[in-house]
Structure 1
Amino acid sequence: MVTNKKMNPVLKGRKAVLLAFTPAFLTASAAAYVPMEAGLVMPVFAVLITMVIGVLLILRQQAGSPAAPLVLSPGRGAGQGPAGLLRDLAKAADVPESAVQAVPTLRGRPALTLVAGSVINPEKFPEPSLLPCIRRLSADETSRIRLVTQAFEADRIELHLQPIVSLPQRKIRFYEVLARLRLADGTLLAPVEFLPILECSGRASDFDRRILIRAMAVARHLMARGSEAIVGVNLSAHSIVEPGFLWSLAGLLDSSPEILGRIVLELPQHSWRHVDADLKGALATLRERGVPFSLDRAADLRFDPKTLADLGIRFMKLPAGLLIKAAEQADGRYAGPELDVRDFASALRRQGIRLIAERVDQDEMVPTLEDLGIPVAQGFAFAAPRPVKPEIAGEQDLPRPFGLEDAPTRLRRTG
């Protein structure tokens, strides 16, 4: 197919010759098979001519809209390298140039295939910041992991108790168990420093069981002294989702029925918001045995008191900073359509839940919490965590490295 001076497409070569002589061929063939006296030559000839004209029109229409080939400029593509080649291909296929710029520069001469009409969707590629960072651990990190693992295997776990007091009387009502891990050099680590290492190694559930056993011994000691204070034990989110973990705690608590109701299991807010069928069943089993639950490590103030009560929650810990920040708002709301912070304590109390303000580290925070009607609070403003004697927690004397008695103890401030 070529064009003449008037830019009209015309046929050229064998196709043109074939179409030019087609009427003559058809007329001769018709005359050979159709009798002349029958008077049918002209009608047959007319039909054949009509068919030929129709075929010509179809061919011309197809010739007028050919598939646009992808043409590359050799000089430009060679001068700009692979990036210029990709840009030319994108322009030929109507792809936005910004999408091509996101493609990294290629090395070598790979075989490129671009389908006409295809569009590169940059949204299919993940955000680079969300991709896992694969790197080698530094010498300090490797050493820290080894020291934490050795201390855990040697069971150098210590318990500290922080009182939870009533407001405004400031009488001790509860105790929260705070675990510490002592390294070989005498350094005392807080959970934020060693718990992630245990979670990554799959030892979080074993750690939580050890803490619960020690907390049960502390609860028995308090009962022997005639104290009515209860003991709260934090559970790791990794342990909670481990199959069978909560079910195993039911059997562990059944071994000491005298302290049922004196041990409070504290679960983080995230775990309460993602309760599946198996977790509900385990929580119901513990609740039937009289084990109270507490919501801990809250990141916001959005909650439904009725839903929490149905799950067996009897205590709810909220950061004092969030409560005070919400109280400073005109409507008393932190963010969203939640309740007015001034109604938190009463709304929870109607469902049998006691509100605890945690992380009260400054004395200036206490009057605001009292104005909000917070019944119980916890923090350094009232008392710091204190270590529990090994004999009270049921811990056995473990062999210590030579010279550990003289090693300095470095306790980080945690609440």
Structure 2
Amino acid sequence: MTLNEHVRWIAAYVLGGAGLAILAPFLSVAVTPPVGVALGGLVVLGGALVHDISARNRRERRIDDFLDRVELDQTAIRSEMDDVRRDARSLARDCIRKLEEASAAGAMEALRAETRGEIRTLQAMVDRVLARVERQQPPPPDDASKAAPKRPSRQLWRSRIIEAEGMADDDLLDLVRDAVRCDRIDLALQPVVSLPQRKLRHYQAFAHLRTGDGAIITPEQFRRVADGEETGRQIDNVLLFRVAQLIRETVRRQRAVGVFTGLSPRSLSDGAFVDEMLDFVTANSELAGSIVLTLSDCPLTSTQRILEPYGARFHDAGIRLALENFGGLSDLDEGVLTGLGVRFLKMSAHRLLADAENEGITPDSQHGAGPFDDMRAMLDRVAADLVVHDIDDEQTVIKLLDYPIDFGQGVLFGEPRLR
């Protein structure tokens, strides 16, 4: 309760007591002025007592709430430290095993490069836990806070995106490499909701890189220069570990949700990367059923070539597959979707509405024969759901609700927020 509120309440008690003291003799002959003053004084004292008790209860509730939050944060930090220790032991065992194998095969240089990537991944995990610990400490002095590098605000992330349109690829790649080298990789989450209920069902996970001055490099920007580099694989490694941490946290809170995790086609074409990913997910059973591996902007034939060798292993590990921006409605192939075990198709709202308009499908005619109905029937046969993203306004939602869509994603339901 603020000082102004205290003053207002005290003034109210005093005015009430004074009013009673003045009016009491006029209301009853038996009440003399001294008795009226005494009654007014009792009103003031009683009000002050009630006010004091109420203020104390408020303070105690705030203290209890604060202690509960601190206890929950400390429990979460201890749990994350346990996860880091377990992952560190696992990485150490893998490094020792690979060192022995590389020594026997004479492949030390390749092992050193791979080990450096794993060490950076582990360091990123430790830094994340330390960041949570630092948030429990008192704020730094003003001069220290001014000197510290600023992390982009959750609400203002869009205004911090770097201007990469006129930037040379080599310059952008240098910024990406510097961000990875300094572990400036953030996990951003955007809600995916059911339609028309708009209930949270999944998250879309993004890796956002930060430059030295706090600007954000989005996946669309760094993918075009880093996909053919070892840097791209390192980003995917960190993204997977951050998603795993998120899933563990939601499982502990009994709020498990699916997390769409977009990885580079180049990484998924690397057999060693996929083997390590599958081993990691298999060793952490709580991840099963929660990771939705998303392959984006890749033709269906290329997707089949990349994922087909691992389809059975993905299924056994509990990893679900999603295809995003796969083309138009006519590009779908039921045999390919069934063979790969695809469980989600993601299309932009603009592409879906444009395809529907080009095919002459309107809200009144959509239940007749047509490619959209064919796609919906095919998705039902292969047990897959349709997710429409880039939903930015209510008008788009109104248009989309005329079609049988399962989930929606876009800034209308929530912008990507740094975690």
Q: What is the TM-score with the length of structure 1 in the denominator? A: 0.55
Q: Distance in 2 between matches of 1:377 and 1:210?
A: 26
% identical equivalent positions: 29
Matched, 1:354 2:382: no
Gaps of 5+ in 2: 1-165, 363-368
Matched residue of 1:218: which SS? helix
Q: Contact (CA 8 Å) 2:205, 2:259: kept in 1 or not?
A: yes
Instruction: Output aligned runs, 1:340-351, within 5 Å.
Output: 340-351=371-382
1:267–1:341 Cα change, 3 Å: same
Specify the alignment match of 1:185 in structure 2: 213
Specify the alignment match of 1:319 in structure 2: 348
CA shift at 1:173, angstroms? 0.6
Determine which of 197, 203, 214 is the counterpart of 2:231: 203
Q: What is the TM-score with the length of structure 2 in the denominator? A: 0.55
Q: Distance in 2 between matches of 1:171 and 1:310?
A: 31
Q: Contact (CA 8 Å) 1:358, 1:378: kept in 2 or not?
A: yes
Q: Distance in 1 between matches of 2:192 and 2:413?
A: 8
Which residue identity lines up with residue 296 of structure 1 in the other structure? E
CA shift at 1:262, angstroms? 0.7
CA shift at 1:164, angstroms? 0.5
1:276–1:231 Cα change, 3 Å: closer
1:141–1:236 Cα change, 3 Å: closer
Matched, 1:228 2:256: yes
Q: Distance in 1 between matches of 2:306 and 2:351?
A: 32
Quick check: which has more Rg, 1 or 2?
Answer: 1
The Cα offsets for residues 377-411 of structure 1, whole Å up to 9 and x where unpaired, read as 111121111111xxxxxxxxxxxxxxxxxxxxxxx
Which residue identity lines up with residue 197 of structure 1 in the other structure? V
1:276–1:353 Cα change, 3 Å: closer
Q: Distance in 1 between matches of 2:370 and 2:336?
A: 14
Which residue identity lines up with residue 388 of structure 2 in the other structure? A
Instruction: Output aligned runs, 1:297-312, within 5 Å.
Output: 297-301=325-329, 302-312=331-341
Between 250-259 and 266-275, the greater mean CA deviation after superposition = 266-275
Q: Distance in 1 between matches of 2:171 and 2:336?
A: 45
Aligned length: 247
RMSD: 2.4
Which residue identity lines up with residue 368 of structure 1 in the other structure? K
The Cα offsets for residues 135-176 of structure 1, whole Å up to 9 and x where unpaired, read as xxx996554332221111111100110000111110011001
1:240–1:271 Cα change, 3 Å: farther
1:362–1:278 Cα change, 3 Å: closer
Q: Distance in 2 between matches of 1:253 and 1:196?
A: 27
Q: Distance in 2 between matches of 1:374 and 1:276?
A: 25
1:364–1:210 Cα change, 3 Å: same
CA shift at 1:249, angstroms? 1.3
Specify the alignment match of 2:198 in structure 1: 170
Which residue identity lines up with residue 280 of structure 2 in the other structure? L
Q: Distance in 1 between matches of 2:226 and 2:359?
A: 44
Which residue identity lines up with residue 254 of structure 1 in the other structure? T
Q: Distance in 2 between matches of 1:209 and 1:259?
A: 15
Q: Contact (CA 8 Å) 1:157, 1:180: kept in 2 or not?
A: yes
Q: Distance in 1 between matches of 2:267 and 2:382?
A: 28
Instruction: Output aligned runs, 1:24-35, within 5 Å.
Output: none
The Cα offsets for residues 115-147 of structure 1, whole Å up to 9 and x where unpaired, read as xxxxxxxxxxxxxxxxxxxxxxx9965543322
Specify the alignment match of 1:156 in structure 2: 184
Which residue identity lines up with residue 315 of structure 2 in the other structure? R
Q: Distance in 1 between matches of 2:417 and 2:167?
A: 33
CA shift at 1:293, angstroms? 0.5
1:326–1:200 Cα change, 3 Å: closer
CA shift at 1:245, angstroms? 2.3
Which residue identity lines up with residue 197 of structure 2 in the other structure? Q
Which residue identity lines up with residue 279 of structure 2 in the other structure? G
Q: Contact (CA 8 Å) 2:278, 2:314: kept in 1 or not?
A: yes
Gaps of 5+ in 1: 1-137, 389-415
1:373–1:139 Cα change, 3 Å: closer
1:175–1:327 Cα change, 3 Å: same
1:328–1:196 Cα change, 3 Å: closer
CA shift at 1:209, angstroms? 1.4
The Cα offsets for residues 222-263 of structure 1, whole Å up to 9 and x where unpaired, read as 112221311110011121222332222111112211221111
Specify the alignment match of 2:64 in structure 1: none
Q: Distance in 2 between matches of 1:199 and 1:277?
A: 18
